[in-house]
């Protein structure tokens, strides 16, 4: 099955260090709008390259780790 960019998810280059917002959203299995909101709030790190917004690949595990920590804190309370 192809995504909006016309590529199948298994064809995404694993050596990429910057992702489009759409690619980041797909990896997190969230919507594009939600991903933009998380970027705007600073919850997911992003950078600009010229006029383009990109998400560093290593920002995604950091975001997930923050979610897991928050979840554990709420469960312990």
Range 9-76 classified under CATH 1.10.10: yes
Q: Check: CB of residue 48 under 8 Å from CB of residue 54.
A: yes
Domain limits, the chain? 9-76
- 11's tokens: 């064809």
What average pLDDT does range 2-25 have in this prediction?
77
Answer whether residue 56 shows pLDDT above 60.
Answer: yes
Of the chain, the end-to-end C-alpha distance in Å amounts to 43
What average pLDDT does range 34-53 have in this prediction?
98
pLDDT band (50, 70, 90) for residue 5:
low
What average pLDDT does range 20-35 have in this prediction?
98
What does each C-alpha distance from 36 to 10, 59, 72 come to in angstroms?
A: 23, 14, 25
Q: How far apart are CA 61 and CA 56, in angstroms?
A: 10
Instruction: Specify the residue for token string 């998400």.
Output: 55
Number of H-type helices and E-type strands within the chain: 3, 3
What average pLDDT does range 29-49 have in this prediction?
98
């Amino acid at each position: 099955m192809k995504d909006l960019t016309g590529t199948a998810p298994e064809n995404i280059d694993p050596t990429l260090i910057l992702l489009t917002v759409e690619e980041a959203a797909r990896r997190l299995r969230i919507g594009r709008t939600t991903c933009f909101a998380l970027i705007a709030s600073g919850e997911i790190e992003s950078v600009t390259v010229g006029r383009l917004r990109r998400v560093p690949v290593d920002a995604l595990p950091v975001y997930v780790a923050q979610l897991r920590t928050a979840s554990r804190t709420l469960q312990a309370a």
